[in-house]
Structure 1
Amino acid sequence: MNIQALLNDKVGAAMVAAGAPIGTPAAVRQSARPEFGDYQANGVMGAAKRMGQNPREFAQKLLDNLELDGIADKLEIAGPGFINIFLKPQWLAEQAEKALADAALAVSKPAAQTVVVDYSSPNLAKEMHVGHLRSTIIGDAVVRTLEFLGHKVVRQNHVGDWGTQFGMLLAYLEKQKAEGKSQAEMGLSDLEVFYRAAKGCFDEDEAFANRARELVVQLQGGDQACLKMWREFNDISLAHCHEVYHKLNVSLTRQDVMGESAYNADLAQVVSDLEAKGLLVEDQGAKCVFLDEFKNKDGSILPIIIQKAGGGYLYATTDLAAMRYRNNVLKADRALYFVDQRQALHFKQVFTLAHKAGFVRDALSLEHMGFGTMNGEDGKPFKTRSGGTVKLIDLLVEAEDKAYQLVKERNSDFDEAELREIAHAVGIGAVKYADLSKHRSSDYIFSFDAMLSFEGNTAPYMLYAYTRVASIFRKAGIDAASLSAPLLLAEPQEKALAQKLLQFEETIESVVREGAPHYLCLYLFELAGLFSGFYEACPILSSEDEGVKGSRLKLAHLTARTLKQGLDLLGIKTLERM
């Protein structure tokens, strides 16, 4: 049940019946304060202005045509023409009963789309570092939510597995093998060390550098020996990535890897097709596209470089080939790119060019879901104390260790295995939730103290909120499935909680529409707060009226299920006790 969508439809129909043009937005929103009703229709003033009518008079005409019998308790015109809608408790109770009876919480399924989601995308020359965290977990939360709503999702892990640096890495791998070193001795267990050693050889040994350049050419030419070494290196790199994915509870698999190399065979064709359409211009030996949409302040046009003077290809070329694949082969309706906000201009350019060149059909929505940076407490990009890049796996291990100490101090009665399980859920959940709860376009400060706090909008608070609700049934020895009393919403706290529970669908639709999981985090935090207020004001197990007790247990059960489902969509594991 999407209450906002239902009311938008009803109010929109009433506006048309009152004389507004078809398609006039009703602009129904959740009310900010209880005295303004549960929902507020804000479209009256705009519609009245366009028609040259008095807003309050038009609002009255709208009310005369508004059919909300059985749904609303009261309708009122406020201020210059806002319409306040107070929902009927009995109607809310009926909708909550439907949510309780449904495995998917009665969330309706929209028309299914094929959505390609490009996220994580580490560089296989190195291990994943903290810079890969946001793309990975924001993308995964949106993927999970899209699938929950019934969309067909195609994950695309566009890993960096091609390019000149691989010549250097293959030359070093070849050198190590020639020296008879085993895989353990090669240092491949730490790709940062391996990369630095290879770079050192490349910078200091001219013969090694020449060999690296030869191997790039051979690799790009399809040499089997080079490809064998390249695959071996990529397998090791991907093993590091999937160790991180497993710890993060991220749903990417090896089958989702579609790296830059996958499009190598199509790059020359991309150039040819752009030339055939008259879009390419040679500039200082390079082949470029100049689009009028991307003029600088001085009137010059910022070029999209497709092929360098030396014949090499760029990110734009590969991205265009990937878009063609996603359009022609995957038949995508939407393609979402979870990539750093600093790449915004690049994506605007290639998206515009892809449509202009006919590489994708007009109906394919290409969307860059940019995100800000994760900074240290000094406000600068997150680094080690020595100024180096922080490996993501090291950060996650540290998060678990800190959570273990915290949990052990608070819970001395758990055995070691359970302490470790709780520490994993709390530590990893804290890192993910701290990120997901911020608007993705914002930079944020990474702080273990803040994210591991049991107060505020944090994972420990949310995980505890869920266990608190779940514990009601465990302590009482009651099976939630046996509850049969009708749901009653007599108290204000009961109605407020039920209404928030029924706004779950509205929330997750915002997540998939905008690629913004922070909406879900805020919703869950507010839901937990409303449950706390309900729990304090409305005794559950101590209620002497069995009907009231059963009704309140139903509300508690629906709260627990909604919290659990919401955290699952964020990729955060819940605990039954902590």
Structure 2
Amino acid sequence: MLIDGVSIWAPNVGVKRAVVDFSSPNIAKEMHVGNLRSTIIGDAISRMLEFCNVEVLRRNHVGDWGTQFGMLIEYLFEEYPQWDGSGEEHAVYKLQELYKASKKRFDEDPIFKEKAQQAVVLLQGGDERYRKAWQQICSLSRKEFDEVYKRLKVVLEEKGESFYDPYIASVIQELDSKGLVVASDGAKVIHSEGQNIPLIIVKKDGGFNYASTDLAALWYRLNVEKAEWIVYVTDVGQSLHFEMFFDAARRAGWLPKGTRDLPRTTHVGFGLVLGLDGKRFRTRSTEVVRLVDLLDEAKSRSKQGLIDRGRDNEWEADELEQAAEALGYGAVKYADLKNNRTTNYTFNFDQMLDVRGNTAVYLLYAHARICSIIRKSEKDIEELKKIGNVKLVHENERVLGLHLIRFPEIVEDALTDLLPSILCEYLYNLSEIFTKFYSTCKVVGSAEETSRLLLCEATVVIMRKCFILLGITPLYRL
């Protein structure tokens, strides 16, 4: 591994191409902590699959179609007749206010409701004025989303709900021809085994919904993109929807009966992010927390921590910035990923930025310390890899060596259950095992120096790969 690189340890997970559907914010709404969880978990799963030589189509299935757009565009045209999508009053946070106001009108004013429904028909029918307004709203939202993705270093390709709209009618026709679709109170539904409620695929008014879009997207991913595994990362509250939607696809013959056979679909559900009060995480004004502000605060606190240690006097300004980003954003990611994703977790800056305990900050410091040991030896580690041997004689050398070679099976386990927390636990244990080894086995200046330096190097290589798979930027000095 030291000579040929860690990629030779990549396990084979039996899949060539996968779609990971994650993040998926709604256009005209600011991203919230639920989108943050989906983004962080989805990115980690994508990175692990990519390490295992799977071609991953990272899909951002944004909510950019449907009733809310008729409502919002109609309201904008009434309030701002000359609206062109430019100017401060049309920033994303303003769009969100306008969205709330339009929703209120929609619920209370039957005439406006009718106009909004007509606006959806015009938009989806390709009316030039409505399409232009829709594109401007989407463009404004994307700029805001990209601010979050840029900070998190997350890469996604957007294929929103609107992308699949042209496929819906033929997909429903296919399901109908297979005898799966039945009429119910003016709507079209598919019944699921063991469920009291059906999956509605065409609403009473003839409009399509999430289920119709999801079925069209699945058809496209299987038939056009030829994906063998499609992973959906959303909150656990949507579990029933996915259960019924997957059941419909199996009954249509799109998916095999066995859940482990290919092609396969998996819903990766996650719990809520809670505040210190134990309730859903919100700001004092009960508004949803802006993710950009949240990430900026994590970076700012990390930077202050580095300044308190005097790093501003030792480092160049850009190195301080980069370290603050790696620590701050890494802390937010790791605090999420170390928990079993299905459970709720409490967002606590003090806890996640602690230099002690199971935090990204602690682990990044541990990695930097091992890098420092190697530097202080003043030995050419690349040369030692060619001429040296690793000899595991001391009990703690053996424990460390055995833990290191478990890395591929850990990645495989994490992907089998789609639980990044398995990789976090392995990384934290690796750091603890190394500490025990280092406290009992002298490295620099010992008779076993070459072997032990190579063991140190193997440790940082694996730690580094764990960080990268979790979307965390490793730091070489701190």
TM-score range relative to shorter protein = over 0.9
Counterpart in the other structure of 1:104 = 6
Aligned pairs (5 A) from 1:171-570:
171-175=74-78, 178-179=81-82, 183-190=86-93, 191-199=95-103, 209-252=113-156, 256-291=157-192, 293-295=193-195, 301-360=196-255, 363-412=262-311, 413-415=313-315, 416-483=317-384, 484-543=387-446, 545=447, 548-570=448-470
State the 1:575 CA deviation.
Answer: 1.2
State the 1:145 CA deviation.
Answer: 0.8
| Residues 1:573 and 2:477 aligned together | no
Residue 220 to residue 572, structure 1, CA distance change in 2 (3 Å): same
Of the three residues 11, 29, 38, the one matched with 1:135 is 38
Distance 1:135 1:526 in 2: 26
Distance 2:450 2:327 in 1: 32
Is the Cα contact below 8 Å between 1:171 and 1:211 reproduced in 2? yes
Q: Give CA deviations for 1:1-54 in whole Å, capped at 9, x if unaligned.
A: xxxxxxxxxxxxxxxxxxxxxxxxxxxxxxxxxxxxxxxxxxxxxxxxxxxxxx
Gaps (5+ residues) in structure 2?
none
Distance 1:568 1:373 in 2: 25
State the 1:206 CA deviation.
Answer: 6.9
What code does the residue aligned with 1:106 have? I
Is the Cα contact below 8 Å between 1:176 and 1:186 reproduced in 2? no
Distance 1:204 1:151 in 2: 50
Distance 2:89 2:104 in 1: 15
Residue 302 to residue 181, structure 1, CA distance change in 2 (3 Å): closer
The number of residue pairs the alignment matches comes to 468
What code does the residue aligned with 2:271 have? G
Question: Structure 1-normalised TM-score?
Answer: 0.77
SS in 1 for 2:8: coil
Distance 1:143 1:311 in 2: 37
What code does the residue aligned with 2:9 have? V
Distance 1:266 1:488 in 2: 61
What code does the residue aligned with 1:249 have? K
State the 1:423 CA deviation.
Answer: 1.4
Is the Cα contact below 8 Å between 1:338 and 1:368 reproduced in 2? yes
Residue 197 to residue 186, structure 1, CA distance change in 2 (3 Å): farther
Residue 319 to residue 560, structure 1, CA distance change in 2 (3 Å): same
Greater Cα offset, 269-278 or 197-206: 197-206
Is the Cα contact below 8 Å between 1:374 and 1:381 reproduced in 2? yes
What code does the residue aligned with 1:316 have? A
Distance 2:411 2:155 in 1: 19
Residue 457 to residue 205, structure 1, CA distance change in 2 (3 Å): same
Is the Cα contact below 8 Å between 1:187 and 1:193 reproduced in 2? no
Is the Cα contact below 8 Å between 1:372 and 1:440 reproduced in 2? yes
Distance 1:558 1:167 in 2: 57
Structure 1 vs Structure 2 CA RMSD:
2.0
Q: Give CA deviations for 1:315-344 in whole Å, capped at 9, x if unaligned.
A: 111111111111111111111111111111
What code does the residue aligned with 1:276 have? S
Distance 2:425 2:110 in 1: 56
SS in 2 for 1:339: strand
Identity of matched residues, %: 43
Q: Give CA deviations for 1:393-434 in whole Å, capped at 9, x if unaligned.
A: 111111112222222212343444332222111111110000
SS in 2 for 1:281: strand
Is the Cα contact below 8 Å between 1:473 and 1:479 reproduced in 2? no
Structure of greater relative contact order (alpha carbons < 8 Å, 6+ residues apart): 2
Distance 1:159 1:209 in 2: 24
What code does the residue aligned with 1:166 have? F
Counterpart in the other structure of 1:26 = none
Aligned pairs (5 A) from 1:151-190:
151-175=54-78, 178-179=81-82, 183-190=86-93
Gaps (5+ residues) in structure 1?
1-98, 296-300
State the 1:367 CA deviation.
Answer: 0.7
Question: Structure 2-normalised TM-score?
Answer: 0.93
Residue 278 to residue 112, structure 1, CA distance change in 2 (3 Å): closer
What code does the residue aligned with 1:120 have? S
Greater Cα offset, 205-214 or 526-535: 205-214
What code does the residue aligned with 2:122 have? Q
